[in-house]
Amino acid sequence: MAWAFPSNAVVNAMDHPVILKISNLSKSFGPVQALQGVDLELRRGEIHAIAGENGAGKSTLMKVIDGILRPDSGDIVIDGKAVTIASPTEAQKLGIGFVHQEIALCPDVSVAENIFMGVTNTSKALLMNYADLRKRASAILRQLGDIDASALVRTLSISQQQLVEIAKALTLDCRILIFDEPTAALTEREAKILFEIIHRLAGQGIAIIYISHRMAEIFDNCDRVTVLRDGRYITTHDISDTTPEQVVAAMVGRVIDKLYPEKQRADEKSDEIILDVSNLCEAARFRDVSFKLKKGEILGLGGLIGAGRSEIVKGICRLEGDVTGTVALHGKPLSLAHYGDSIDAGLVYLSEDRKGEGLFLDMSIASNISALAVERVASRAGLINAGRETRQAQELGRRLALKCGHVNDAVSTLSGGNQQKVAIAKMLSVAPKVIFLDEPTRGVDVGAKAEIHRIVRDLARSGVGVVIISSELPELIGVCDRVLVVREGRITGEVAGDDMTEENIMYLASIADERPRAA
Amino acid sequence: MATTTNSVDGEAGSAGNALGRLFRMRETGLILIIAVLFIVMSFASPYFLTWDNMRAMAMAFAVEGIVVVGMTILLISGGIDLSVGSVTALAMVIAGWLFLNGLDPWTASLIAIAACTAIGAIMGFFVTRVGLHHFIVSLAVMVIARGLCLLGTGGRPLGLYTLPLEFKFIGQGSIGPIPVVIVIFVLFVVVFDFMLRRTTIFRKVFYTGSNEKAAAYSGIRTSKVIFLTTTLCAALSGVAGIIYMARFGSAQPTFGVGMELNVIAAAVIGGASLKGGSGTILGAILGTILLSVVSSSLALLDVSIYWQDIIRGSILLTAVTIDHYLNKRRG
């Protein structure tokens, strides 16, 4: 990805006085330290990238700047004056605008009304002056692109909606404009137009904060980059003085601890292929996905959020999407029409959204566990044998060290880690041949996390094929024997053994464009 | 340790089973309220505790109870059907019309029930394939079915004076002292209560209603489940229509106006949630009995018919409010 812009002029202190200075900012949520002593310096007219892994604290920092969160300690100075930003309204008054990652517009209302929603909200006028609203909206939209102010937002494309979000921020006379991964939903061409606009805004003296973990974007468009990691400030560089590799190293530079179970031993290696996926494609979301899963190994799928990892796995299981390509299990090609067929064949998927897609919270533990195949605890005539259902839950519960009162209690009475064990028990109830785990330890405490890792390793040892998706690099490296990296719907590389480092994975996930798969 | 329990709700579960307790509380609570009403009414009106009155009350709720069974299952799956009253009337009208045009009443009835089943299937199609909401689809069908009733009869009841005795036996006969209607009702209740608690197919109804997404992610074809519950509810409305016809000896195109509200109220008072995922046949039937006992009591006490609606509505509101608070505490 190359953006057609001249090399970035060095931002010097004289032409570009500091507009925002944050020092020693900390914020914790209960026991979790989200930000710890973070510094940030923003100058007029610069495009300043904030880079960091998922969970590094980028969003928390932005929410503090936007007044959504209050910091525990630290100073925020705007134009030389110390300020406290208690609410988004106050942030607006200070000239801080925020273009959120997710578009938050009212789809059935006109563009003009959306743009002036904030103004209307605080206005004392009794009646709306639509003609005036439209005129003012058109004036702002003219500098952004060709959008009709009276059109309904619903009829606009995603990129146009994003422009409306920007217009909304601009109405507030902002001097600082925050973009939170704005290109996530855009095509390359739309992104290019967006960057032209961002450069123009910076040229007018607005200070831009640009959040992204796409190195190409940062290096083609930004003036400086600040790296956060684990809620701490790591470094700030002029883009002209650094390289993508350095930035990635700063983003991940962390020693992996020994929290993880033993890996596959050399004598456990097998050439037996359990699952063979080839040329899997789905129109918009992934293409040419091919890989082999060997017996006894844990295969990881790495990549950024939104890279298409879940989509690929759901495609294999026929959970969603119109998928082409072949999937063979133990050498036999499968013809699956529906997820029920996948379950029958022995492929099961653990959803990343435990509460939304994984569990029946108000139903009992036992009936949750049997949900994947109630027939297994029923007679041939289709009558559920309650004793068998209870025993199945108790057996699997023991195997997974599930801590619960009684298996007839509702799942909602359990802690996050134990709920996740119920979700895993549900997968195991059908004695699967391949199990796909999507973010299996999300929202789970450290102890339960280690137990889940142990369970997964035991499964692999017992001959079940295991594929794990995780956005947590240390987990991926700690648990998996081999990691495939997915970027924009394609497998961009494979790492194993000593090559399995955070730098390599991040490189493949965010920089590498076309690179032959490592042998 | 391996306590055997034969319900999804885990009624025989541990003492710590909050959900089980809640459901037990609901059903025992309803029985208690009904018992108190009985005691009070037996003092208030000497006529209340007579065999004739008991029989009349049972007859009043028995046929509607069959519709309540279908509605409860539909509610558990997350749906709702406002057309039950119209569809019940349509079953009467179709069967009555066919009978008057020379068909024997049994075949006519089967065709009428099949037609109602087809109407359910059409609603199921609009909900699962087209993706419309149950509420809107069944509202439209409610109006259409009523229109068909009036169209087919010119708005006048069809007198079916030549119905054979053995057909009228369904609605008017007795086996010993027990009216056939009650026998049929009890059969439906027992069979469907058992199936709902024990069979895999109806367990999938609970999964679907409890969390449709998670059900789909468990390999359950949720649209098939919803299609079936929608169809079943309409089919049972058709069955009810035929029994009414046998009982009245006529087909009344305006019968069943407002029935949907009574039926939904009974199911909800009995513990079914409009959000899906919970409800029992037993609870819903107790809800039906409660509403029926209240109506009958108010009639015996010479309370104006207008007050009866107000009181019924208030009972529904009270039940739902109690539910809401219990759920909030549980969450």
Q: Give the pair of three-digit tokens for residue B171.
A: 């609605």
Average pLDDT, chain A: 85
Please enumerate, as own/partner, the contacts of B167-175 that have beta carbons within 8 Å and a separation of 24 or more: B167/B105, B167/B106, B167/B246, B168/B246, B168/B247, B168/B249, B169/B246, B170/B242, B170/B243, B170/B246, B170/B247, B171/B243, B171/B244, B171/B245, B171/B246, B171/B247, B171/B248, B171/B249, B172/B246, B172/B247, B172/B249
* Share above pLDDT 90 across residues of chain B, in percent, rounded to a whole number: 66
Would you list the domain boundaries of chain A?
A: 1-95+174-254, 104-171, 258-346+432-519, 361-430
- The whole domain housing B188 covers 25-34+50-330
Is B237 a residue whose pLDDT tops 80?
A: yes
Higher pLDDT, B237 or A35: B237
Is A512 a residue whose pLDDT tops 70?
A: no
CA distances from A278 to A274, A287, A495 (A): 13, 10, 19
Q: Give the distance from residue A355's alpha carbon to the nearest chain B alpha carbon, in angstroms.
A: 8
Higher pLDDT, A220 or A255: A220
Is A257 a residue whose pLDDT tops 50?
A: no
Q: Give the distance from residue B308's alpha carbon to the nearest chain A alpha carbon, in angstroms.
A: 35
Is B44 a residue whose pLDDT tops 70?
A: yes
What is the number of CB-based contacts under 8 A between chain A and chain B? 125
Domain A258-346+432-519 grouped into CATH 3.40.50.300: yes
Asked if A408 is an interface residue toward chain B (Cβ–Cβ < 8 A), one would say: yes
Task: Measure the CA–CA gap between A453 and A449, rounded to whole angstroms.
Answer: 6
Number of domains in chain B: 1
CB atoms under 10 Å from CB of A246, counted, come to 14
Chain A residue with minimum CA distance to B6: A386
**Highest mean pLDDT (candidates A175-179, A184-188, B25-29):** A175-179
Q: How confident is the model at residue B48 (pLDDT cuts 50, 70, 90)?
A: confident
**Highest mean pLDDT (candidates A160-174, A267-281, A353-367, B226-240):** B226-240
Higher pLDDT, A79 or A193: A79
**Highest mean pLDDT (candidates A416-420, A436-440, A488-492, B297-301):** A436-440
pLDDT of residue B60: 83
| Bridge partners (DSSP) listed for residue A299 | A467, A482
**Angle (CA) A162 A471 A404, round 5°:** 115
**Amino acid letter for position B194:** F
Give the model confidence (pLDDT) of A134-170 as tens digits. Answer: 888 888 888 777 788 888 988 888 778 888 888 888 8
Higher pLDDT, B13 or B228: B228
Nearest to A202 by CA among A94, A319, A48: A48
Do A1-95+174-254 and A258-346+432-519 share a fold? yes
When scoring B22, B217, B221, B329 by the number of chain A Cβ atoms within 10 A, the one with the most, hence best to mutate, is: B217
Residues B91/B238, Cβ–Cβ less than 8 Å: yes
pLDDT of residue A215: 79
pLDDT of residue A12: 57
Give the model confidence (pLDDT) of A221-252 as tens digits. Answer: 999 999 998 888 999 999 999 988 888 888 87
Residues A192/A3, Cβ–Cβ less than 8 Å: yes
pLDDT of residue B24: 58
Is A68 a residue whose pLDDT tops 80?
A: yes
pLDDT of residue B295: 87
Which of A360, A375, A387 lies nearest to residue B2, judging by beta carbons?
A387
**Amino acid letter for position B232:** L
Contact B203 A426 (CB under 8 A): no
Question: Rg (Cα) of chain A, in Å, rounded?
Answer: 26
Tell me which fold the domain A1-95+174-254 belongs to.
Rossmann fold (3.40.50)
CATH of the domain at B56: 1.10.3470
pLDDT of residue B330: 47
Is B50 a residue whose pLDDT tops 60?
A: yes
Contact B5 A390 (CB under 8 A): yes
Q: How confident is the model at residue B186 (pLDDT cuts 50, 70, 90)?
A: very high
pLDDT of residue A116: 85
Give the model confidence (pLDDT) of B1-42 as tens digits. Answer: 333 333 333 333 444 455 555 555 678 888 888 999 899 998
Asked if A395 is an interface residue toward chain B (Cβ–Cβ < 8 A), one would say: no
